[in-house]
Structures are given as structure tokens and as C-alpha cells.
Structure 1
């Protein structure tokens, strides 16, 4: 990603743009957390949400339900902070798009493969015309997997340890049976 893709101005006099995993505040962030069992086998698959300007996370948590600051599968383990200046309307445009996407998804049935939490985030980015690009769940998953930052070492362990244990067990069984 280019330098202007990620928010670098953390000294805003107007608001606190600091990501604070302890307080669970992720302003202008796409956030991600593992889905038990599914992520254990496919560590690039997980649950996604999007943070408002104040850091409140909105995520499409299930049929007709968008949660607020209570992600469906636990607290974020990864995040990517974006630059709100790349959104049409800046801060207000960002928050408006997140709210509009959330309202849309409160009226939708959840579908694991086609209309899910990733789609909710993509819809928000589309509504704010983020970077004048098209957004979809595959693009978001790839960007977050490659460019996302872990909230802590424990976040990385929570994401990859089950997968590594499964691969190790399969390898040992294959080699010694």
C-alpha cells in the first residue's frame, strides 16, 4: 500500500486518532478477528468490522443484526487504519457511510459466502467512495491479511497457533504412520 493509504496524521487537534486495543477504540480502521474452527484451518478467513471516527466498531454479526463495539467473535486481533481524507466528505463522509451501510445490513440475511461482514465493510467503503475504487470482500480480505497490523503478540498467536498446531499434527502423522 502507498503511504497515503494509511492514516499517518496522529496529531489531529480535533480528535484522537490513536488506535487503542485496550480501550477497544479503532478510529477509521478495518478490524479483523478469527472465527473459531474456520480460521484454524484457513488463517486468512475471519470476521471483519469497521471503525467510526470515534473508534466504535460496527460489524455485520448475523442475520438482520449489526453490532456496535461487540464483535461477534471477540475483540479484534488485526487492524488497518485508513486515511479518512480519502473518503468523500472526510470525517463526516466516513461516519455517514458506516452508518448507512450498517442500516442496510440490519435489513439483510447473513450469508457466509456471499453477503457477510466483509460485504458490510466493502459497502461502507463504496458508499464513502474511498479512494475512488471499487471494494469487495476478496479485496478487503487480501489487503487486511497482507497489510493489517496485529494488536499485540497475543493477537498473532490467537490467529496462527491453532493453524500451526493442526499442520504440525498432520505432518507428524504423515511422517510417522
Structure 2
């Protein structure tokens, strides 16, 4: 492919080309708002996410539509656009054969393997902790509703905890 142009993100159609996407996980994100579910999109914008044991979802994230995204540059993938798609596809194929483990081998690990396979930024040292931190720093909310969906439950839980602490 001659052009390395990034197609436009289309939030209304859930198309996030060359993006890592994130959405809250009910209850877990309510207590720890930086923890959530992650996926990675192909050049077409179609999202792939390791949604459970032996299952990689396509275009239907396990915990709902993305609330945050971080668009990366296909030129930083070995092989450009085709290298990006190959990395995402190969990682998805591997994860279709894996058991899900919340702490060790999860959706973040799937995204990390995608980036490692494409040698994104000339690196094979991507991991779930690095991705969680970078999504916190570089992730953009899809809109104000995405921000609220992430933070309102946490603020409610924190307010209740503070109220209970003050009553004791």
C-alpha cells in the first residue's frame, strides 16, 4: 500500500483505525477507574478484543462501545499498514486458542502481542502495564458521555465511602 494515510475515526460507527480502544468494566472500574477492557483496531477501524477464554471478538467489544481511544501511526509498524493488520490478525489468532486470566493473560496482553508482532516503534517490549499507563496518558475520551461513563460510578462509590467513614 503506497499511502500511509490514517483513515478518519468515526465514533458514530465505532470505527477506530490504528487505535487502541478502552471501555470500563462494570464494578472493577467503579473502584479502580484506570482499569478497564482494551482492544485494538485494524486499519479498517474494526475492533478486535480478547473477550474471554478462547474468544476474540470482532466489532463487538465485551463490555460495550469504546469510551477512550489512542490512535497510533501505521508508519511505526514494521511493514506499515499491512504490518499493522498482520500483527493484529496474528495476535487475534493466537488468543483464540488461549484461556483468559484477569491478572496475567488478558485483553491488554492481546493488544501488547499485536504491537510486539508488528514491532511497533521498533519494540517487542510491549506489555499490559505499559499499555495501561500509556492509555491513561494518551487516551482521548470519545465524548463527554464516555468520560462520565468512566468516572461517575467511581465518584458515587467514593462519595459513599467518604460518607460512611464520616458517620463512623
Q: Which residue of 2 aligns with 1:173?
A: 164
1:1-177 alignment runs, 5 A limit: 17-133=7-123, 134-177=125-168
Cα contact 2:91–2:113 (8 A) shared by 1 = yes
Q: Which blocks of at least 5 consecutive residues in structure 1 are unaligned?
A: 1-11
Q: CA separation of 1:152/1:123 partners in 2, compared to 1, >3 Å: closer, same or farther?
A: same
Deviations 1:42-62 (A, max 9, x none): 001100000100000000000
Q: Which residue of 2 aligns with 1:9?
A: none
Q: CA separation of 1:149/1:46 partners in 2, compared to 1, >3 Å: closer, same or farther?
A: same
Aligned residues: 166
Q: Which blocks of at least 5 consecutive residues in structure 2 are unaligned?
A: none
Q: Distance in 1 between matches of 2:10 and 2:148?
A: 19
How high is the TM-score relative to the length of structure 1?
Answer: 0.90
Superposed displacement of residue 176, structure 1: 3.0
Runs of 4+ in 1 over 2 A off after TM superposition: 12-16
Q: CA separation of 1:170/1:23 partners in 2, compared to 1, >3 Å: closer, same or farther?
A: same
Q: Distance in 1 between matches of 2:19 and 2:159?
A: 33
- Indicate the SS of the match to 1:74: coil
> How large is the Cα RMSD of the aligned pairs?
1.4
Cα contact 2:40–2:49 (8 A) shared by 1 = yes
How high is the TM-score relative to the length of structure 2?
Answer: 0.95
Q: CA separation of 1:150/1:108 partners in 2, compared to 1, >3 Å: closer, same or farther?
A: same
- Indicate the SS of the match to 1:115: coil
- Indicate the SS of the match to 1:22: helix
